[in-house]
Amino acid sequence: MTTREDHDDVSHGGHEAGHGGVGKYIAVFFALCGLTVISYLVGNSATLREKTPGIMWAMMMAVSCAKASLVILFFMHLKWEANWKYVLTVPASIMSIFLMLMLIPDIGLRTRWYAEERWLYAPPPVEKHEGHEAAHAEEEKATGDEGNIFEKKTKASH
Amino acid sequence: MSHDVHHAAVKLQYQPSLPLGNGKLCLWLFLSTEIMFFAGLIGTYIVLRFGAPPGTWPKPHDVHLVEIIGALNTFVLLMSSVTIVLALESSRNNNAGMAKAWMVATFLLGSVFLGVKAYEYKEKFRHGIYPAKPHSSIYDKADLYYLQACRQRLEGIQKDLMDQKASTEGLSEEQQEQLTHCENVLNNLVKFSEQSAANATDVLRQQRAMEIVASAIYPRAHTANSYEHLIDYLAAEEADLLHEKTDLRKVISEKKSEQTALKENKVPALEKQAAAEQNSEEKAKLTGQVTAAKANQEKLAAEITADNARLAAIDGRLSLHKFLTDDAEKEHIQHGLNDHPDYAFLRLPMKIPSGNMWASTYFLMTGFHAIHVLVGLIAFVFLLVMHLGHKRSYVIENVGLYWHFVDLVWIFLFPLLYLF
């Protein structure tokens, strides 16, 4: 027979201390610090940023998810909780993930299909251009990246 | 019948919905809504960031974000997560003193986090990065509106200083210098470039003339060789201007000699002729010629004044070139006039593509996170006045769950804002 009193004892009782233990918490803390260092190094790697930004972002997000899992499992004790933990965390997580999955292809990638006309009212894109006509190369050099939109226009009108 | 009674007596019993205390249940319900709240914010940020025109999203150094400060704050929050878990552990072992000590440590670490955040905000504000207009001086493009904003800002400063100069107070030596710097930028950088853009024969030249103002004021950190581009542009412009100057000098001296000829020979001769003429018809014709010659003379004088003004403007621009291309100034010019010790007080509008969007998302997300930290600190204050024996350990547990969630949010915010 289980009563509310018993439950309160279960959630607040001293015997839960056996689950964590100072040593475990310290180990988790160092793991979290180590993971932070990893994302810091990944984020500051010029090679990754220039060549494969997608991989860099994915790595940092993976590290963040790992850190989040560590915090949730150990510091928030979810590892040792009963099955109610799924009731409260799974729906919220599903909704969060769904939100992103719905927004990213719709809005997140919208500029990949901008009309020429729409670029006139948007901040100019910064892309790497290679192999221009010689005439444009000099102009490009002086304007920096921002000349692209006009260059695109002049090219189109030629 | 008796069977039913028996059945009910044995089988029916009280079942709580979830096997956990009310406080903890409420807190977890709250946290699950918080997950969605921050997921919404982070999702919006990701969408806006990747939806921004390719490559425009400001890099951390464009907006004075320092990664190492963010990393430090991450470390501080992680530490506080450990200390609060240790407080819970001590409390469960009925060690109230230790529990309180760990809670004090947690409170201090939380305060350090907020202090660092406040410092970061102050640095942003100091550089004119605000979440919204009218304080924000971020512009997406270097267009005519940008130049206009620069001009208005400079003219405002100039007017204030001039007013003070006219008043009895007068200007201090430092303010006199500020006025000189302000007028230098106003006339030689902004107005001259506006003129160049207006006179430009094609869109590209026009754009370039305006772009150069933006990169002199606030070059973006990650634009490769932006200083070299500036120097190249100025060198090309200097050659053009020197050419124009020689031509102008020649034109002016021609005009001057024509003017002298008119003044000393042609007009007196015509007047003399007109005075001597008897035929009234001829006389009227000659008087007309005198008026025309005098008008011509005035027109020449006006042209010479305009040409001289242009010469002065060119000289001013060339003096600015000298300053911008000076090797001794290179270190400062690379960081732009807004970071130059003599010119930083101007706080000119900056061109940061997608910068306003960045500022909105940055301040919204870190602001909401900071509010959560603040609420956590308030909860800590309540805990600190309690006796934290094992009877109260569930309070520490609940506050701890909330605090870990705050830490969790920062775990995602740090890479997204500082490293992406």
Identify the residue among B10, B14, B37, B56 best suited for mutation to test binding to A, counting A beta carbons within 10 A and taking the highest.
B56
Instruction: Decide if A40 touches B, using CB distance below 8 A.
Output: yes
At B341, which helix (H) or strand (E)?
none
Most confident of A120-124, A137-141, B28-32, B261-265: B28-32
Identify the residue among A26, A38, A48, A71 best suited for mutation to test binding to B, counting B beta carbons within 10 A and taking the highest.
A71
Task: Name residue B138's beta-bridge partners.
Answer: B350
List, for residues B104-130, the tens digit of each pLDDT value. 999 999 999 999 999 999 999 998 899
B394/A68 CB distance under 8 A: no
DSSP conformation letters of B183-200:
HIIIIIIIIHHHHHHHH-
Instruction: Decide if A94 touches B, using CB distance below 8 A.
Output: no
List, for residues B208-251, the tens digit of each pLDDT value. 899 999 989 998 876 667 788 888 889 999 999 999 999 999 99
Residue A6: band (very low, low, confident or very high) from pLDDT cuts 50, 70, 90: very low
Instruction: Decide if A107 touches B, using CB distance below 8 A.
Output: yes
The SS3 of residue B374 is helix
The dihedral through the CA atoms of A112, A114, A119, A121 has a sign that is negative
Question: How distant is the Cα of B1 from the closest Cα of chain A, in angstroms?
Answer: 25
Peptide bond into B134 cis (omega under 30): yes
DSSP conformation letters of chain A:
---HHHHHHHHH-GGGGGTS-HHHHHHHHHHHHHHHHHHHHHHT-HHHHHH-HHHHHHHHHHHHHHHHHHIIIIIT-GGGS-THHHHHHHHHHHHHHHHHHHHIIIIITGGGG--HHHHTTSPPP-----S--HHHHHHHHHHGGGGHHHHHHHHHH-
From CA B54, how far away is CA B48, in angstroms rounded?
11
Backbone Cα Rg of chain B: 36
Question: How distant is the Cα of B22 from the closest Cα of chain A, in angstroms?
Answer: 9
DSSP conformation letters of B302-321:
HHHHHHHHHHHHHHHHHHHH
List, for residues A57-92, the tens digit of each pLDDT value. 889 999 999 999 999 999 999 888 888 888 888 998
With tokens 């940055």, the residue in question is B362
DSSP conformation letters of B214-247:
HHHH---TTSTTHHHHHHHHHHHHHHHHHHHHHH
Instruction: Decide if A46 touches B, using CB distance below 8 A.
Output: no
- Cβ-based contacts of A5 with chain B (< 8 Å): none
For residue A8, pLDDT beyond 50: no
Residue B6: band (very low, low, confident or very high) from pLDDT cuts 50, 70, 90: low
- Nearest residue, CB atoms, B55 vs list A122, A127, A141: A127
Question: How distant is the Cα of A101 from the closest Cα of chain B, in angstroms?
Answer: 9
List, for residues A123-143, the tens digit of each pLDDT value. 666 655 444 444 444 444 444
Instruction: Decide if A134 touches B, using CB distance below 8 A.
Output: no
Task: Tell me the mean pLDDT in the region A48-65.
Answer: 89
- Cβ-based contacts of B141 with chain A (< 8 Å): 123-124, 146
Task: Count Cβ atoms below 10 Å from residue B190 Cβ, excluding itself.
Answer: 25
User: Helices (H), strands (E): how many in chain B?
Assistant: 14, 2
With tokens 């919404």, the residue in question is B40
Instruction: Decide if A66 touches B, using CB distance below 8 A.
Output: no
At B49, which helix (H) or strand (E)?
helix B22-51
> How do B138-139 and B350-351 pair as beta strands?
parallel
Instruction: Decide if A1 touches B, using CB distance below 8 A.
Output: yes
- Cβ-based contacts of B407 with chain A (< 8 Å): 71, 75
Residue pair B417/B365 in contact by the 8 Å Cβ criterion: yes
Question: Scanning every residue of chain A, which has its alpha carbon at the shortest distance from the alpha carbon of B55?
Answer: A126
The pLDDT assigned to B381 comes to 96
Residue B72: band (very low, low, confident or very high) from pLDDT cuts 50, 70, 90: very high
From CA B324, how far away is CA B317, in angstroms rounded?
10
- Cβ-based contacts of A89 with chain B (< 8 Å): 32, 35
- Nearest residue, CB atoms, A12 vs list B21, B233, B420: B21
Task: Name residue B123's beta-bridge partners.
Answer: none
A36/B71 CB distance under 8 A: yes
Identify the residue among A6, A7, A12, A154 best suited for mutation to test binding to B, counting B beta carbons within 10 A and taking the highest.
A12
- Cβ-based contacts of B93 with chain A (< 8 Å): 14, 17
- Cβ-based contacts of B420 with chain A (< 8 Å): 43, 57, 60
The pLDDT assigned to B27 comes to 93
Task: Name residue B351's beta-bridge partners.
Answer: B139
Average pLDDT, chain A: 71
Residue pair B110/B80 in contact by the 8 Å Cβ criterion: yes
- Cβ-based contacts of A42 with chain B (< 8 Å): 419
